[in-house]
Structure formats: structure tokens, C-alpha cells
């Protein structure tokens, strides 16, 4: 070893001990006849002192140390005269007796500090230097800790971690697969898995009873701001269970992580909400319940007053925003602009301000009397000082618009602090989603999701009303994961395929081996998958998943550090029996 102590562990009680440290030069300062060098490693920073009076030659060499030089320092631990209460090692320093430069460093292209001067692109190109910054490093430490605790919990609950293949069969349904040409089977391709769904169901058929895997998954999608072509999923499946069993098990997992990683104790069961209520009260299947402002429907109250926007609307729905009666015209105009942005697409916004003294102002005073507006306020349980915000239009669309406005108001009022966590189960999802464009039903989750047993009689008669035995876990308005009880009965599975417009041939081609497997005694089973990158970013209180990943890709799917993807050697292409076509303009 090049060291006998790390840069994070020395304390006052070590004073007088001889030590050897190794690490990177964080910075050097000359003060009077002394040179102070901060040496950094993963574990911390320790101050090393060189005294010009004691050893001028050594001090002179220390003065030449550059940022990020790698050094090995021998010396004695001493109490500091001016202690640094912000550092765990701040009570001590090392009186240097000798040191060795283990490696030099060019001047790094940006400062290795949380508050760095490097832009995004530069830091991605020099990701190995960006990873030296304490904030980025601590995200990966958190990720490790979380993965470890997830495994500890699941192992204690009899789950087996089983690796499923990365080279799998391509299935044209769903998102786009990444594919891998097979040299040994020319003209044929593997796919990279979008999830281990089929394999985990096979493992249940095999009797593994409780399976999990922290699994790499792949989707060749156009990357939105916060997507990565490869991502990591906590993938789980259990046999002989019903929805309640799965929910309890994974509520336990989430609580375990919060407790052992964040020291947050959730003693009560997580609240649950049906999908219908979530849509009705929050306009979203992933409501942020850190704050109130639940939706209140006013359609019946607002009609018949000659305001055609409301008269013609399927739904008028609003929120009471606490304490915002004092909003200026400029501020309400901003909100109107906000909901009219193309991403949200509302036609306009109605506001009602209920001043502390009870006086009422509104954008629709022309059509409604103060008493009318008071009736709205009463139904919405608004207090003096509140502002009502209302939207009108087609029901589902309007709810989604109001959802955005509610979140915006939550942000403005500081009601969405990152260090407060509000988990929620959303249950009773619809089994099917109607697609207007193709005029057919799609599976809201996937074709193996079991219908709610109570709703099986509706499958053919009232397809859209059938509830799935599916559940999502939502934290702070973000879907952390979800799952379902699967169909284990092959006849019911055939019905599902039929309702989803699969011909028996197509169903067999794509899922034949699973359907075959189900003929040999498939147990009742169900499971869940959590987005691990998302889970880490949530606990790291980050906006993006990118900094939870050691070597992420950019929005074009490129790793700008190692310049991949890249063109292949012609010989390699030939071996694969492939030709790259000239680019179409």
C-alpha cells in the first residue's frame, strides 16, 4: 500500500502519530513561511503543512505542486491551531517530513469542485475528471449503498437474484429494440432486452417463486431530456401472490431503503388512490401529494350564465391556491400564458381572488355575481386570501392542463421541497387504452396484465371499463415503478391477445415460447419493476438521472468521452455479412 491512512479518517486523537497518506492535490497556499497543501481522496481532505524554517528544500518542492498532482506524503499528525469545523479532519493537519510525486497532472480543463467552472459539454468529454467532484462522487456512493440495501432486503425475503440474458429475441411490439447481428448465424440478429419481463415470467413457471434482478435494460428511443439508451431496473416477480402481497412486499422495500439510506422512517402504510381518483383529483396517474390543491369540479355551478367557454365545456375544474389573492394582474397574466403554452394547450384561464376582507375579484366578473363566485369558493373550500384557478374544456385534456398548473403553483409556493418524500400507490388502472388514431385498444401496461377478477365479465361487453390488477408506486409526482398480477390462465391470455388485435399466428410468433411454457403448470404470479436510476436521483435530490450514472450518454446517444458509437472496420462488417447503406439526404 502507498498509504496507511486515508485522507478522511484522521482525528484529534491521532495527534502525534506518524502517517503516510496518498491522494490528489486539491490546492496549495503559501502563508508566511508555511505552505499548506490540501490532499484529497475518496474519503476526504487532509491538510498537509510544509515549514520553510524546518526544511526549506522540501517546502520549495511542495510549492511546485500543481492541482491534481498525485502525491504520497509522510509526516506526523498534529493539532491545528486554527481548526476547520466544516471538515471531519479539520481538527488536525500533517506536519510533512517527506513526499513523493506519484504522478503529475496537466492543468485540468475545469476546477474539481462542486461549484465548478466547467460547462456541461466539457465535463462530459472529461467525465473521468467530472467524477472527481464530491457531489458527483456522492451520487455514485449513494447508488452503491441503495443497490446493496435493495439486495439485503430482497435476500432476507427469500428472493433469488437471477441473471437473465442480454442477447435475447427481438420483438417488434413496444419500443424499438437495439439489435446485435450474429456472425455465427448470418442474417440473424439478437436484441438487447427492453426488460426481463418474459424471462421473469418463465422463472415463475420454473418454480423460482421469488425472483429479482438489478438489470440493465435498453430502449432505442429518441432521447428526451432525461432518458438514457441503457438504464437499470429493479426487476421482481413472485409466485402464488395477489396484488396485496406484492404491494406489501415492495412497500417494505421502499421503506427499507428510505430507512437505511436516508434515515427516514415511514411508519404508516403508504396511501393508495385509484387511477380514477388520481385523474379526477390531480389530473395525473402520478400525483404529487406533497401538497394539496386538489381539483374541485364546478361544471354544474358554472353553466347557464352566458359564459360560452364554460357553457360549452364538458368539464370545468379548478384549484384553490392558498394565500395568492394578492397576485397582481401581471402575475395572473403569466399564469394564463403558462397554460396557453403549446406544451399545455389550454385556451385560457379563469381566476377568482378572494381577498382577506372578503371582497372578490375575478376575470369573469362580467358573467358571474359575487354570490356565484362565493358558491364556487365554498365548494372549493377556499379561505379568504386564496385564489381560485379554473380551466374548462374536454374532461381528460382539461385535467391534464390543470395538473401542470397545479404543479407550477406548487413550485411557486415552495410546496415541493426535494427533501420531503410523499409515496403513493396508484391502483385500479384501466386494463386497456383506446387509441383514436388506429381505432383499437392497446394494453395500458402489457398484454400479460391480469384483469381485475370482478371485471372479467366486462371483457367483451365493456372493454374500456375493465380494471387491471396493476399498480404503480409514485413518489413526489414521479412514477418510481409499477407492476401487475399476470395472467396465468392460457384461455384468458388468448382472449387478451384477441382483444388486443393479435392474430393467433402473430401472438404465437412473438410470445410462443411463453405461451408454450404456460401449458405446463404456470403458477399465479405477479411482480413489479422500479426504475433504479430514477430512485437514485430521487434520493440524491437531483433533477436528472444523468448524474446517477457513471458514464452516461448524451441526448444523441453518444459517449463524447470515448467517441462512441463509431464506424466499424470494413472487415468486421464483412464478417457480419452486412453492408451500411449510403445515407439518404
Selected binder of a copy of itself within 30, 114, 568, 570 (CB under 8 A): 568
Give the nearer residue to a copy of itself in terms of CB position, either 180 or 413: 180
Give the nearer residue to a copy of itself in terms of CB position, either 241 or 273: 241
Interhelix angle 243-262/134-156, nearest 10 degrees: 140
Give the nearer residue to a copy of itself in terms of CB position, either 370 or 494: 494
Per the structure block, which three cell numbers stand in for 115?
461549484
Given phi > 0 = left and psi -120 to 50 = alpha, else beta, which region is 345? left
Should residue 102 be labelled a site residue for a copy of itself when binding is judged by CB under 8 A? yes
The least distance separating a copy of itself from the CB of residue 483, rounded to whole angstroms, comes to 16
Q: Count how many residues are written for the chain.
A: 585
Site mask, a copy of itself, residues 20-39, x = CB under 8 A?
Answer: --xxx---------------
Should residue 563 be labelled a site residue for a copy of itself when binding is judged by CB under 8 A? yes
Q: Is 514 helix (H, G, I), strand (E, B) or coil?
A: helix
Residue 48: Cβ-neighbour burial (10 angstroms; 0-12, 13-18, 19+): buried
Among the listed residues 395, 388, 417, 549, the one whose alpha carbon sits nearest the alpha carbon of residue 477: 417
DSSP label at residue 78: E
The least distance separating a copy of itself from the CB of residue 529, rounded to whole angstroms, comes to 17
Should residue 542 be labelled a site residue for a copy of itself when binding is judged by CB under 8 A? no
| DSSP secondary structure string for all residues of 18-76 | EEEEEEEEEEEEEETTEEEEEEEETTEEEEEEEETTT-HHHHHHHHTPPTT-EEEEEEE
Query: Of 271-300, which residues contact a copy of itself (CB under 8 A)?
Result: none
Question: Cis ω on the peptide bond leading into residue 322 (within 30° of 0)?
Answer: no
Give the nearer residue to a copy of itself in terms of CB position, either 70 or 444: 70
Site mask, a copy of itself, residues 126-165, x = CB under 8 A?
Answer: xxxx-xx----x--xx-xx--xx--x---x----xxxxxx
Contact region with a copy of itself (CB under 8 A), list: 185-193, 265-273, 375-383, 426-434: 185-193
The least distance separating a copy of itself from the CB of residue 71, rounded to whole angstroms, comes to 9
Give the nearer residue to a copy of itself in terms of CB position, either 58 or 166: 166
Give the nearer residue to a copy of itself in terms of CB position, either 68 or 288: 68
Should residue 491 be labelled a site residue for a copy of itself when binding is judged by CB under 8 A? no
Contact region with a copy of itself (CB under 8 A), list: 279-287, 363-371, 406-414, 544-552: 544-552
Should residue 576 be labelled a site residue for a copy of itself when binding is judged by CB under 8 A? yes
DSSP label at residue 226: T
CB atoms within 10 A of CB 13: 10
CB atoms within 10 A of CB 431: 26
Selected binder of a copy of itself within 513, 541, 544, 570 (CB under 8 A): 513
CB atoms within 10 A of CB 148: 12
Give the whole-angstrom CA distance, residue 113 versus residue 134: 7
Should residue 565 be labelled a site residue for a copy of itself when binding is judged by CB under 8 A? yes
Per the structure block, which three cell numbers stand in for 83?
481548526
Per the structure block, which three cell numbers stand in for 323?
394565500
Should residue 556 be labelled a site residue for a copy of itself when binding is judged by CB under 8 A? yes
Beta bridge partners of 556: none
Should residue 173 be labelled a site residue for a copy of itself when binding is judged by CB under 8 A? no
Selected binder of a copy of itself within 170, 331, 336, 478 (CB under 8 A): 170
Give the whole-angstrom CA distance, residue 74 versus residue 351: 70
Per the structure block, which three cell numbers stand in for 299?
361544471
Should residue 88 be labelled a site residue for a copy of itself when binding is judged by CB under 8 A? no
The least distance separating a copy of itself from the CB of residue 534, rounded to whole angstroms, comes to 15
Should residue 45 be labelled a site residue for a copy of itself when binding is judged by CB under 8 A? no
The least distance separating a copy of itself from the CB of residue 573, rounded to whole angstroms, comes to 9
The least distance separating a copy of itself from the CB of residue 19, rounded to whole angstroms, comes to 14
Should residue 328 be labelled a site residue for a copy of itself when binding is judged by CB under 8 A? no
Should residue 260 be labelled a site residue for a copy of itself when binding is judged by CB under 8 A? no
Instruction: Please count the residues of this chain forming the interface with a copy of itself, following the rule CB under 8 A.
Output: 122
Should residue 344 be labelled a site residue for a copy of itself when binding is judged by CB under 8 A? no
Measured in whole angstroms, the distance separating CA 20 from the mean position of its chain's CA atoms is 41
Selected binder of a copy of itself within 50, 69, 429, 497 (CB under 8 A): 69
* Cα Rg of the chain, angstroms: 30
Beta bridge partners of 94: 48, 77
Selected binder of a copy of itself within 82, 342, 520, 585 (CB under 8 A): 520
Q: What is the dihedral sign for C-alpha 62, 67, 73, 79? A: positive
Give the nearer residue to a copy of itself in terms of CB position, either 341 or 506: 506
Give the whole-angstrom CA distance, residue 93 versus residue 75: 10
Torsion angle in degrees (nearest 10) through CA of 170, 171, 174, 178: 10
Selected binder of a copy of itself within 110, 178, 260, 421 (CB under 8 A): 178
Query: Of 203-232, which residues contact a copy of itself (CB under 8 A)?
Result: 203, 205-210, 216, 218, 220, 222-223, 229-230, 232
For 281, phi and psi rounded to 5 degrees? -95, -20
Q: Are 290 and 424 in contact (CB under 8 A)?
A: no
The least distance separating a copy of itself from the CB of residue 139, rounded to whole angstroms, comes to 11
Selected binder of a copy of itself within 186, 306, 501, 504 (CB under 8 A): 186
Among the listed residues 571, 432, 401, the one whose alpha carbon sits nearest the alpha carbon of residue 499: 432
Selected binder of a copy of itself within 189, 266, 270, 338 (CB under 8 A): 189
Amino acid at each position: 500500500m502507498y498509504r496507511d491512512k486515508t485522507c478522511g479518517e484522521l482525528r484529534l486523537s491521532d495527534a502525534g502519530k506518524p502517517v503516510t497518506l496518498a491522494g490528489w492535490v486539491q490546492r496549495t497556499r503559501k502563508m508566511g513561511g508555511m505552505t499548506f497543501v490540501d490532499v484529497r481522496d475518496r474519503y476526504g481532505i487532509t491538510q498537509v503543512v510544509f515549514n520553510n524554517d524546518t526544511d526549506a528544500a522540501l517546502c520549495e518542492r511542495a510549492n511546485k505542486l500543481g492541482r491534481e498532482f498525485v502525491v504520497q506524503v509522510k509526516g506526523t499528525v498534529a493539532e491545528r491551531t486554527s481548526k476547520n469545523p466544516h471538515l471531519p479532519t479539520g481538527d488536525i493537519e500533517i506536519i510533512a517530513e517527506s513526499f513523493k510525486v506519484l504522478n503529475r497532472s496537466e492543468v485540468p480543463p475545469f476546477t474539481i469542485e462542486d461549484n465548478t467552472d466547467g460547462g456541461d459539454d466539457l465535463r462530459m468529454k472529461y467525465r473521468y475528471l467530472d467524477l472527481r467532484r464530491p457531489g458527483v462522487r456522492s451520487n455514485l456512493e449513494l447508488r452503491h449503498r441503495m443497490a446493496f440495501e435493495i439486495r439485503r432486503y430482497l435476500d432476507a425475503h427469500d428472493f433469488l437474484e437471477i441473471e437473465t440474458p442480454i442477447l435475447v429475441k427481438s420483438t417488434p411490439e413496444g419500443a424499438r429494440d437495439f439489435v446485435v447481428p450474429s456472425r455465427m448465424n448470418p442474417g440473424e440478429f439478437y436484441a438487447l432486452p427492453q426488460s426481463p419481463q418474459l424471462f421473469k415470467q418463465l422463472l415463475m413457471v420454473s418454480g423460482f417463486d421469488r425472483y429479482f434482478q438489478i438489470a440493465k435494460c435498453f430502449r432505442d428511443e429518441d432521447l428526451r431530456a432525461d432518458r438514457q439508451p441503457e438504464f437499470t431496473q429493479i426487476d421482481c416477480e413472485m409466485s402464488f401472490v395477489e396484488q396485496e402481497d406484492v404491494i406489501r412486499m415492495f412497500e417494505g422495500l421502499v421503506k427499507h431503503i428510505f430507512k437505511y439510506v436516508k434515515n427516514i422512517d415511514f411508519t404508516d402504510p403508504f396511501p393508495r388512490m385509484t387511477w380514477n381518483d388520481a385523474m379526477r383529483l390531480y389530473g395525473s396517474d402520478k400525483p404529487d401529494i406533497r401538497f394539496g390543491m386538489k381539483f374541485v369540479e364546478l361544471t354544474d355551478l358554472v353553466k347557464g350564465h352566458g359564459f360560452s367557454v364554460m357553457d360549452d365545456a364538458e368539464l370545468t375544474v379548478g384549484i384553490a391556491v392558498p394565500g395568492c389573492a394578492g397576485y397582481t394582474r401581471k402575475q395572473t397574466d403569466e399564469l394564463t400564458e403558462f397554460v396557453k403554452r403549446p406544451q399545455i394547450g389550454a385556451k385560457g384561464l379563469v381566476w377568482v381572488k378572494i381577498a382577506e376582507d372578503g371582497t372578490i375579484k375575478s376575470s369573469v366578473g362580467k358573467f358571474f355575481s359575487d354570490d356565484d363566485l362565493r358558491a364556487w369558493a365554498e365548494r372549493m373550500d377556499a379561505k379568504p386570501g386564496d385564489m381560485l384557478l379554473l380551466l374548462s374544456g374536454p374532461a381528460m385534456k382539461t385535467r391534464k392542463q390543470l395538473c401542470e398548473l397545479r404543479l407550477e403553483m406548487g413550485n411557486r409556493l415552495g410546496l415541493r421541497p426535494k427533501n420531503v418524500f410523499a409515496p403513493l400507490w396508484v391502483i385500479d388502472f384501466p386494463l386497456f387504452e383506446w387509441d383514436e388514431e388506429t381505432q383499437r385498444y392497446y394494453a395500458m401496461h402489457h398484454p400479460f396484465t391480469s384483469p381485475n377478477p370482478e371485471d372479467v365479465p366486462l371483457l367483451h361487453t365493456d372493454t374500456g371499463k375493465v380494471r387491471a390488477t396493476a399498480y404503480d408506486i409514485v413518489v413526489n409526482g414521479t412514477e418510481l415503478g409499477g407492476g401487475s398480477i399476470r395472467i396465468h390462465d392460457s384461455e384468458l391470455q388468448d382472449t387478451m391477445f384477441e382483444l388486443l388485435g393479435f392474430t393467433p399466428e402473430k401472438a404465437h410468433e412473438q410470445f410462443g415460447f411463453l405461451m408454450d411454457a404456460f401449458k405446463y403448470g404456470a403458477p399465479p404470479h405477479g411482480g413489479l419493476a422500479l426504475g433504479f436510476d430514477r430512485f437514485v436521483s430521487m434520493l440524491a435530490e437531483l433533477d436528472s438521472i444523468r448524474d446517477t450514472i457513471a458514464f452516461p450518454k448524451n441526448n444523441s446517444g453518444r459517449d463524447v468521452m470515448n467517441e462512441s458509437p463509431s464506424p466499424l472496420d470494413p472487415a468486421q462488417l464483412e464478417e457480419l455479412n452486412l453492408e451500411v447503406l449510403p445515407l439518404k439526404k
